Structure 1
């Protein structure tokens, strides 16, 4: 294990613990805030609104993140961002509507810093041979957060139809401690030393040395306006909408479907566990096979994710009632709601999401290795803006409408990603042919000299 891969492992542990706290909260926020509202009439905070504020703030602040990193560096940005996650979790111990929304704004700004710093740090610790492996390993470790956090919630919510104050505080206190542990791992990250990359790709840290904050901002704008980045943005939009759906809408919809049984609330946590299993399996699989998937192209993995997601959307459509995202309901859909089918769909949503995100990380880390800070900031901007939009309409749109939006955006986003990947391969083949043609005259001359001497 070399120094750079050890950095990736430490990065994975830091994010795994920080996001064990946040992703678990995101999964249960709608359910748990409804319970708080029932106990305290003065509390009017809404889970969908909180999540929408988080992702909208994240989208806006992503434009400033490259400029911030020119001052703090990637490690400093990640530590600052992680502290805002800690504050967000602590705020739930003191349920106040204004505090919930203020913490949502703060964590949105912190998320822009932590994710842009992560993209930069991962890139400078990778090269063309290791970026797919490192992306897959990081993604698998990150998504372990869904597994551990939601398994804890599944146990704590067992047999409950209402989440009482004691149970809530135990969950919040435990998640606070876990988030603090993640910050410790980020504090011990070591400076990155980028090895020489293939095709003379320069280290971003060297390329941006002395760069001003305004230069970083202008560079992000210029990059966003390029043809490939605009196409990739369509894929980013889809990942944002499906992220908000599986992380904040789908699991609560299961918990609101009362015809699934008396323990339906604990299925919210179990759904998160199965989403996490799908994410971890996908990340580990594409991390181990990273070199092979890069050789054959990233598009087969993305197309597989697309087919898996379309299957899961259909199964969700026939399994859950149309009004499930809005609150407790006894309605049924085309079949009697099945907890087993719901958990299968959770797994498929997680696995398909891993297909998309590992390949997006891979293409950004290789194609934009010399400008990774801006590339990852733009990725998070587009993804977060789409996620915020989804949370804003989630409280109004029927489940069938949300699934229809996902199907359309998934089709467009997958086609756009494949277009960029195919164009990149065509350019690589053209360069190879051109290089071969330049060598041909010299090769012929050598052959003629050999015949002459014979």
Structure 2
């Protein structure tokens, strides 16, 4: 019965995030395109999509250090509600296109992102155990990334035939996205308190916010977290690339045809398809992941991403991230190849993220809030840096950075996984059990 209640919590969590991020991921995917259109209507508006996203992830990174302390006081459910509210405020800020408001709203949502994602990782871990963490991570990820379908499908039809996103079109899109985020808040409101395997309530750290910060600092210095940090950096760089650079780059490549703007939404749909298929597949294979190891899935993600980067290099011109361009690519730019690459970017991303969720929940079950906060801190630092340089570096340079970090991140993840497997065998753990790498300075049961 407890298992059923905990699994129901995971499903409700997945629906809540699916609707909230249907709104935000769609907004992030079209932000650069929409802001360029606002600037054409109102030259006094100088807000930039890449800069806005960079601010979001920079504030996100800083606030991840205080997120475990907030959660130690509020618990993960209240923290996630606070975070979700900031996402609605961010989208609402687009009703009043002011440059200063855009960047203030970007700061606010950066704080909210730190709180909602740390709360999510904590809540997911509290409702899982060593045998269910891989399955729950995969299912949650598939539900979350289903958000890429609905919002982007709506945008695909709404932007059809448009080379300029006019005021009325923008208004309808913003209203729909805020309504979707509100539905997600309702699902988060009905979440039940997390229960441990004994049926006892879990979720708060009775030792206070200062102790939560100390645990995060202790965990940050461990060898395993340092190695995983390289993987986190890569996921941040590729997250910013597929969520804020790649799809607009397709829309700016005029060689694609007359309806190129609607391809921005279609690209998001194909990214979502890859994410959902990967998450569902790895959720179904959750038990086998623990038995075979997480490294084969991460290696599959590496190969898929490297192939997609090479195809993007051939298919899009180097100037595509900067705005509308008629520059030719190495081959005749193909809409079909662009959509294939979108799918591969999403599938590869699901390979990395589902296994990161699994390894953090498995290796650091007693320090889930700081572990996920450190993951999001490192990932968001990389994403912020990527959005800052995206306005200045051509597509080819960005792809080179992605390839280098993909290689290093994959090697470091496999190193930690192999060490965990060796320790599990040496300590006589049965299949499905995880040894904890958290040292005595950072071990405190989260309850």
With the shorter chain as reference, the TM-score category is: over 0.9
Deviations 1:179-225, CA, capped at 9 Å, x for gaps: 0110011011000101159xxxxx9948x642121111011001000
**C-alpha distance in structure 1 between counterparts of 2:198 and 2:357, whole Å:** 20
**C-alpha distance in structure 1 between counterparts of 2:306 and 2:188, whole Å:** 37
**C-alpha distance in structure 2 between counterparts of 1:96 and 1:180, whole Å:** 24
Query: For residue 177 of structure 2, what is the aligned residue in structure 1?
Result: 175
SS at match of 1:190: coil
SS at match of 2:95: coil
How many correspondences in the alignment?
428
Q: Is residue 340 from structure 1 mapped to residue 342 from structure 2 by the alignment? A: no
Q: Is residue 67 from structure 1 mapped to residue 69 from structure 2 by the alignment? A: yes
Contact 1:124 1:204 in 2 (8 A): no
Bigger helix fraction: 1
Alpha-carbon shift at residue 70 of structure 1 (Å): 1.1
Q: Is residue 252 from structure 1 mapped to residue 248 from structure 2 by the alignment? A: yes
Alpha-carbon shift at residue 403 of structure 1 (Å): 0.2
Query: For residue 410 of structure 1, what is the aligned residue in structure 2?
Result: 406
Correspondence list, 1:276-425, <5 A: 276-425=272-421
Alpha-carbon shift at residue 32 of structure 1 (Å): 0.6
Correspondence list, 1:34-183, <5 A: 34-183=36-185
Deviations 1:158-193, CA, capped at 9 Å, x for gaps: 000110000000000000100011001101100010
Q: Is residue 213 from structure 1 mapped to residue 209 from structure 2 by the alignment? A: yes
Distance of aligned partners of 1:433 and 1:286 in 2 relative to their CA distance in 1, 3 Å threshold = closer
Contact 1:136 1:287 in 2 (8 A): yes
Alpha-carbon shift at residue 10 of structure 1 (Å): 0.3
Alpha-carbon shift at residue 429 of structure 1 (Å): 1.2
Could you list the runs of 5+ residues in structure 1 that have no partner in the other structure?
198-202, 435-454
Could you list the runs of 5+ residues in structure 2 that have no partner in the other structure?
431-447
SS at match of 1:336: coil
Deviations 1:219-276, CA, capped at 9 Å, x for gaps: 1001000000000000000000000000000000000000100000000000000000
**C-alpha distance in structure 2 between counterparts of 1:222 and 1:248, whole Å:** 33
Query: For residue 437 of structure 2, what is the aligned residue in structure 1?
Result: none
Query: For residue 190 of structure 2, what is the aligned residue in structure 1?
Result: 188
**C-alpha distance in structure 1 between counterparts of 2:205 and 2:224, whole Å:** 26
- Larger gyration radius, structure 1 or structure 2: 1
Deviations 1:371-401, CA, capped at 9 Å, x for gaps: 0000000000000000000000000001000
Deviations 1:116-136, CA, capped at 9 Å, x for gaps: 000000000001111001000
- TM-score, normalised to structure 2, is 0.94
Query: For residue 441 of structure 2, what is the aligned residue in structure 1?
Result: none
Alpha-carbon shift at residue 65 of structure 1 (Å): 0.3
Q: Which ranges of 4 or more aligned residues in structure 1 deviate by more than 2 Å?
A: 203-206
SS at match of 1:2: helix
Query: For residue 35 of structure 2, what is the aligned residue in structure 1?
Result: 33
Query: For residue 442 of structure 2, what is the aligned residue in structure 1?
Result: none
